[in-house]
Amino acid sequence: MSERDSIILPVSSPTNTQSKPSFSVNDTPLRSFLVLATLRLLSLILPRHGPVLMLSKNLCIKVGTLKQPAEAATMQFVAKHTSIPIPKVHCAFERKGCKYILMERVQGHILRDGWLERSAESKEKILAQIKNMVDQMRRIPPPSGQGISNVVGGLLFDGRLSGGSYHGPFDTVQDFHRHLREGYEGGNDDAPDANRLVEWHNQYCGKPIFTHGDLSTMNILFEETRLLGLSIGKQRDGGQNTGNILVHGMSIRTMSFGERRLISFWSQR
């Protein structure tokens, strides 16, 4: 049985928050010892931005429970299948419930800063690069029988949905849509918008595609007009993003469902 088969839930099963997707990357005794020893010796000396400890100009360590249990694996997956600039993950492991990622440190400016002052030509160049980046992600072919999950077949993290922050994994697109609708299957004459949403979902027959679940101007790093990478945009130093560069919230999920429509639908309940 493959790793993915061992953690995918049966159809219509409730979300299992105890699912354990793969987190480790290059988890050798020597690497983990060096990371933990470095943290023990230097954590009070080196600069720290949120959960990220800045080791040097080129290295940083992210420490904590981490909302995305498979984020290191996600970064490697994107780097392997696209030309999107993704920082190298040197190792990632978990000890006593705490997760550690030793990774390349990339510096740049988040796209939001100074956007209004950019020229039309500059904006056009940047948007073209972002479009290419998203197109590359969406062209990654899903594995045979792929449902809706993160890259290793585990939980999806999205705090914007009802029912908690962790969802799935789901065997089918239909299960995913049903979860988004909180089990609603239509037929209520007093909920015409919800009924149309069910009809829209039922028309979808395509395969899942890979996408970024939290793409915004806070999560994109640029230097002048050159895309440097993706970031959660939280660790900042003097206007520059100075560390934690990752593909946040990436997962195998369908794009047939519009987020704006979901928000509008639930706000009318």
Q: What is the pLDDT of residues 109-157, one digit of tens each?
A: 888 888 899 999 999 998 999 899 889 999 998 888 888 988 888 888 8
Q: State if pTM tops 0.95.
A: no
Q: What is the pLDDT of residues 79-102, one digit of tens each?
A: 899 998 888 899 999 988 888 999
Q: How many residues are there in the chain?
A: 269
DSSP 198-213: HHHHHH--S--EEE-T
CA 215/CA 76 separation, integer angstroms: 18
